[in-house]
Amino acid sequence: MGTTLFVCTTCKAGQPVPEGSTPPGAQLHAALTAETAPEGVRIVGVECLSACNTGCAVSLTKPGAWSYVYGRLTLDDVPAILEGAGKYADSPDGIVPWRDRPTVFRKQSIARIPPLPPLEEAAE
């Protein structure tokens, strides 16, 4: 199954957002979807990744793999986000070798979550 790149569309990136204007998160989502997504990657907007102190935020996830959350992203990071998403999609377990990760993914990881362990492993 494929990779999903979730993009928080409500992120305010620590700035006041005047009523009626587009939040930075929605701008980032629009900029990402305006580009061609890497093969095997779906880009999905989502309201609030609960990373409000570290927005704009995105998350990469796929079944059976580690999931990642990245933060403090701007429109300048769009090419790097797409590059990193493509490499994530190509990896078997979501773990891209450190040297191959875009700088923004090396430096702006907020958290990662392991794949669900098989029951017997969890019982150890």
> Interface residues with a copy of itself (CB under 8 A)?
1, 4, 6, 42, 44, 46, 48-51, 54, 57, 59, 61-63, 67-69, 71, 109-114, 116-117, 121-123
Query: Diameter of the chain by CA atoms?
Result: 53
Partners of residue 109 on adjacent β-strands: 70
Give the nearer residue to a copy of itself in terms of CB position, either 21 or 109.
Answer: 109
**CA quadruple 68, 101, 37, 64: dihedral, nearest 10:** -40
Cα distance between residue 124 and residue 121, in whole Å? 6
At its nearest, how many Å lie between a copy of itself and the CB of residue 12? 15
Can you tell me whether residue 59 is helix, strand or coil? strand
Give the nearer residue to a copy of itself in terms of CB position, either 8 or 19.
Answer: 8
Give the nearer residue to a copy of itself in terms of CB position, either 23 or 59.
Answer: 59
